[in-house]
Every structure is written in C-alpha cells, then in structure tokens.
Structure 1
C-alpha cells in the first residue's frame, strides 16, 4: 500500500517508519470508520492525530494537476494514470460531500500535484523538487500533504511509480486522491478488503465504498439549503 507522509508547516514530517494503518475486526460503525481514517482513532478510542481538512473555500474548487512528465516515463502509463485521476475525481465529487475537484486548466496553480516519476517500486524518489518527498523510498505510490496551524490543508503531492501493475492503477490512484482529502489512515481488516479504498492489504476497490463516501461526507459535511 502507499506510504503516507504528512508535513506540518512544511517543517515536521511523519517518517517512513510510522504505521499508517490500524488493525480492526469486522464491520465498524460509520462513526468509528470515519474517526479511524480521519484521526487514527481505534474503535471507541481517542484520536492519535488532529483531523485536517481543506478549508471550505478551497474544498469547493480543489484543483488537481500533473507535474511535467519525464520522457523516460512509459507513455502508455501516462494515459492510464490520466484516466485514473479523472475517474477518482468523479468518484469523490459524487460522494455528496462539500467537495468539488477538477482538473487544472491553463494558468491554474494546482492544490494537488500528481508526479509521474520514472522510478520503480522500492527505489528512492528523485526529481520532484519537494523537500520531504525526494529521497523517500516509494512503494506503489506516495501521498504527501501539508497543513497549517489551523489544521487547514494547503497543498498535496501524489507520486506514482512507473511499474505500477495495470490492474492496480485505478484502485491506487483512487486511494491516494481520497487520502489527499485528509483521510490519511488505512484499515487492516479483511472485511474491508473488497469494500473500501482504505483497505491496507488490498488494491481491488475501484469505486468508493459506502463507508468511504460517508467518511467524506462527515469530513466535509454537505451544505444545507
């Protein structure tokens, strides 16, 4: 699964040795599910992290763009990754949360930047120019988020390895973009292996599960008329 790095004011970084999942058993309540993925709380227990979110004015127009792609990155994977990002955007937008993501247009400065890097799983990332990202060992993918002292997300970066198996592209991209909403903890629990993008031990989920969508709505409550 993807390694999650989180940077506070671009100064503190949650290191690679830290677990980014919690192990549970059976179906969780919607409340426990949301608190686990949002603040690393065990069922019925306290949060281990402060919840972080995109501020409302940004969440309503959250821009996702691609960094320039090296000519060494396989061209067929560029098409797959681009389609997977569009699919993930559509899935998140359809969740019913107070979120609206879109692909960057000319002149936009993306809030979330996707880096397609010409490296293989297990290699050190290079070339993004991001402190705390370059030099990290990548698995299938890596997501990094930055936030301020008000717990408002300010930017995010997603790095995707070039040798990601074709069958994993859609599930991995969907997971990374969903985690970039501030839902940073995965779940190790066989019940969720085919039900949630947050499943630690599975890359089989290509659509947001019902509790994935509910977690997004709880994290970004829909506006009432």
Structure 2
C-alpha cells in the first residue's frame, strides 16, 4: 500500500481457490486476508474502528426507478437485519444522509468503466455485477462505497447486497470452491441465489468483530 489512505477495490475477480470444507480458521483467513489454506496472508486484516456503522443508498440512477429501486431498498433492510442478528461487536444502522457505507445504483453495465463524480472511490474502476471499494487508513476502514450495475436481474439484489455489505465490513476476498457454492455468501462462482449468510460467514464476521 503506497498511500496511507487509498481506495481498495474488492472486485469480483479477487478470490482464492481451495478444495473441500475448510476449518474455521482457514476459512476466516481466506476471506479476511486472502490467505490460501496453510498459506500466508496476501493483504492486511481491515476493520472498522467504530461500534456503529451506518449504511444507505445515496445515488439512484433513473434506470433503477420503479421495481428495481424498491427491491434494492428492501435488500438493504434485509441485509442489515441479517448481519445484526449474528452477534458481531459492531451494529449496522440504516442512514439516508452521509452513511459510512454508501450504496450507489449506477447507470453502468457490467464491464463498463465507472465514471462517477460523486462515487469517488469507484470512479475509474471496471464494473462487475456489483463492486465494493474501501477507503482505508493503515488497517482501519474509514468508509466504503458499493456500486450496483444495471446488468443484474432483480432477483439477484438481495443476495448481492448481503455479499457486498459483508465485504464492506472487511471480508473482502471471495472463495472459489465448489463446496461453498451453496454454503457461503462469499462464494465466487455462486449464481447469487443464496440470500442468507452461511454458518462460516457468520463465524468469520464474529471473529472479525468479537462481541464486547
């Protein structure tokens, strides 16, 4: 990391391959620091240093108006509810004004280069179905931006919203492993039909933010 404060994109292609069921420590290290099983960390562990983290939609492109917007808004509500139920040492709160985790519904398709004056952390990145970038200072997360593309189908919103907010909490590496296709919201090759956190997703979040 060349700068003390830099945008760290958690892109769809940011994943580690493994095989079969991993023990809890191996799974946690993979999703939190990019470590392959029995390998070393590829990146630091990033954490928020506050007890309450706000999240909300701050930009809505006209292409999302109507049913897409309603589904996106409902997906934020459900993601916050599910994440708050697992007993982490941080709590998520929905906020409409200047949230810590900003969600942008962008007029950009998968594969487009994002041109966004307001979403500065995302500007210039290549859009996936959705993309998350963290604003970091050392090992501390100071803010996060999530961009949603126009490419996704409406049925994918709930799953992708939960995945991206989970990544915005610091679990920024996906896992490529057939065993986790239906067992982890962070599965690289899942079809975005999983709408709940897997058992090891919950474990990893609680380990990342132990209850106080």
Q: What is the CA distance between 1:15 and its match in structure 2?
A: 9.3
Deviations 1:6-56 (A, max 9, x none): 99644465697x94101100000001000000001111221111101000x
CA separation in 1, counterparts of 2:41 and 2:62?
43
Q: Distance in 2 between matches of 1:142 and 1:220?
A: 23
Structure 1 64/13 Cα, relative in aligned 2: closer, same or farther at 3 Å?
Answer: closer
Unpaired segments of 5 or more residues in structure 1?
1-5
State the distance in 2 between where 1:88 and 1:8 align: 32
2:177 matches 1:189: yes
Aligned to 2:132: 143
1:217 aligns with 2:170: no
What residue in structure 2 maps to residue 3 of structure 1? none
Corresponding residue number in structure 2 for 1:35: 29
- 8 Å contact from structure 1 (residues 193, 204) kept in 2: no
Q: In 2, distance between residues paired with 1:179 and 1:30?
A: 18
Contact 2:14 2:174 (8 Å CA) reproduced: yes
Q: String of CA shifts for 1:162-207, please: whole Å, max 9, x gaps.
A: 2311221111111000000000000000000001011000022110
Q: Per-residue CA shift, 1:143-165, capped at 9, x if unaligned?
A: 0001112x111000000012311
Deviations 1:56-107 (A, max 9, x none): xx2x2110021132334332111111111111111111111112001105xx
Residue 62 of structure 1: aligned partner: 53
Kindly indicate whether the alpha-carbon contact (under 8 Å) linking 1:9 and 1:146 is maintained by their aligned counterparts in 2: no
Seen in structure 2, the aligned counterparts of structure 1 residues 128 and 196 have a Cα distance that, compared at 3 Å, is: farther
2:44 aligned residue (40, 50, 59): 50
User: Residue 59 of structure 2 contacts residue 106 of structure 2 at CA under 8 Å; is this kept in 1?
Assistant: no
Aligned residues: 211
Between the aligned partners of 1:13 and 1:177, the Cα distance in structure 2 is 15
Is the aligned partner of 1:99 residue 2:72?
A: no
Counterpart in 1 of 2:154? 166
Asked if 1:88 is matched to 2:79, the reply is: yes
The question of whether the paired residues in 2 share the 8 Å contact of 1:77 and 1:162 is answered with no
Q: CA deviation at 1:141?
A: 0.4
Separation in 1, partners of 2:2, 2:70: 30
- Inter-CA distance 195–119: structure 2 relative to 1 (3 Å threshold): same
RMSD: 2.2
SS at match of 2:93: strand
